[in-house]
Amino acid sequence: MLIDEKGISISGFPSGEAATQNSFQGVITERVFRGDGYELRVQVGQGELYCQASVDPVNDLTRPGQHVALSIDPNAIRFLGGADQLARDGGTSTYSGESQQ
């Protein structure tokens, strides 16, 4: 599965609050400055997601240890698979048979 990072939005999320549909509760574990924004590593359950966040000095929700909600636009999700995946999803898979690096 591949999620376009532009389809992930981040917002403040008080600890213990329930997640909504297409939203995941997580904790920022790492923040790296990348010129015009930050690359964030967010612990979500037993896994991690990487996402981008713009620099906002007034409302900085990107500090390590910060509880956040990650909302994912369903249109930003792509399933990668072989020819059998194409048959299952009606030929709409983005798989091209080439390695994605």
Burial of 85: CB neighbours in 10 Å, binned 0-12, 13-18, 19+: middle
Helices (H) and strands (E) in the chain, counts: 1, 7
Whole-model pTM over 0.75: no
Q: How confident is the model at residue 91 (pLDDT cuts 50, 70, 90)?
A: low
Write the pLDDT tens digit of every residue in 14-46. 555 555 677 888 999 999 988 888 889 999 999
Domains of the chain: 2-81 (2.40.50.140)
Q: In 3-state terms, what secondary structure has residue 74?
A: helix
